[in-house]
Amino acid sequence: MRAGVAVLTLATLAPLVAGCGQDSTAPDPAAGGPQPLAAPPAREPDSYAAELRAAHAARVAAAKRWGLKQVPRTAPPAPEEKPRITTREGFEVDGHRKPGLPPVFTTVPTEEKVVFLTIDDGAEKDPAFLRMMSELKIPYTAFLSNYVIEEDYGYFEKMRDQGVGLNNHTLNHPYLPGLSYAGQKREICGMQDVIEERYGDRPVLFRPPFGNYNKDTLRAAKSCGIEYAPLWNEEVFVDRWDYREGDGELRPGDIVLSHFRGRAEWEGTMPDMIRRFLDKVTAEGYAVGRLEDYL
């Protein structure tokens, strides 16, 4: 028997046979008689494979167009069972776990060779960067500060429309531990309000500026609806990588930080930074995943 052919029992087949006449003319619907069983639409056997080939060809062409050394690897599917996220050892504040404050972490627990790209603040608004990420189908997560995005909210609207998560990096990018609890809450909740008003969603991810925080920071973040406080394990620039561990190694689940910057502050552009990022990640056998899919 050919695979995929359903087997009809005699009990199932009998009423079908009984309902058929000698000719194969379908009953007239206007006569109110029984309607024929509709066959499923025929599907071209190779259609799915053709779609995959076309998608890969487009990815190859985009990699060549943007000057990558290799075609980026495709990320694995989002895990059905999300990993348990906890605060990294040494990153706790006093009483961190007991009050259920947002976990602070630098790596997502996974055995898959996947890393996560996160980009902070929003100062540079390079259209070429949006085209590059869209054409290459590379996911990333943005952490935005209002003081630099307010001059062009529309740029980040385009980013949102491409499926990018827009998250909280405070209104004005202050050193939060230097503020009172009330001051920190204004910075964090205020940015929640901006993102919700401008882009429709209230974030659950928050990154403290400079990676600095105290107990009041996390208490304020929780009160504003924040569930996670991801930091990073590596940072990529146009001309180099920096490593928290100091060993120059990527690890499965690592969160990588970069910033919205251009030639005004870098010796290059956002696409130059992405090229450096992807060339290393791909050469080491990693794909780029979407952070939110693992939380």
**Residues 290, 128, 266, CA angle at the centre, nearest 5°?**
90
196 within some domain? yes
Residues of the chain with pLDDT under 70: 1-45
CA distances from 126 to 101, 110, 206, 270, 278 (A): 35, 32, 23, 7, 18
Q: Taken in order 175, 194, 102, 106, is the CA torsion positive or negative?
A: negative
98 within some domain? yes
pLDDT of residue 42: 53
Residue located via tokens 């996220």: 85
Strand ranges (E), 146-294: 165-168, 229-230, 234-236, 241-243, 255-259, 287-289
40 within some domain? no
Domain count within the chain: 1
Separation between Cα atoms, residue 41 and residue 270, nearest integer Å? 47
38 within some domain? no
First vs last C-alpha separation in the chain: 45
pLDDT of residue 190: 98
Task: Find the domain containing 66 and state its range.
Answer: 50-294
CATH number at 95 reads 3.20.20.370
71 within some domain? yes
pLDDT of residue 255: 98
26 within some domain? no
Say how far residue 168 (Cα) sits from the centre of its chain: 15
Separation between Cα atoms, residue 97 and residue 227, nearest integer Å? 13
Separation between Cα atoms, residue 33 and residue 45, nearest integer Å? 35
**Residues 285, 288, 291, CA angle at the centre, nearest 5°?**
140
33 within some domain? no
pLDDT of residue 47: 84
36 within some domain? no
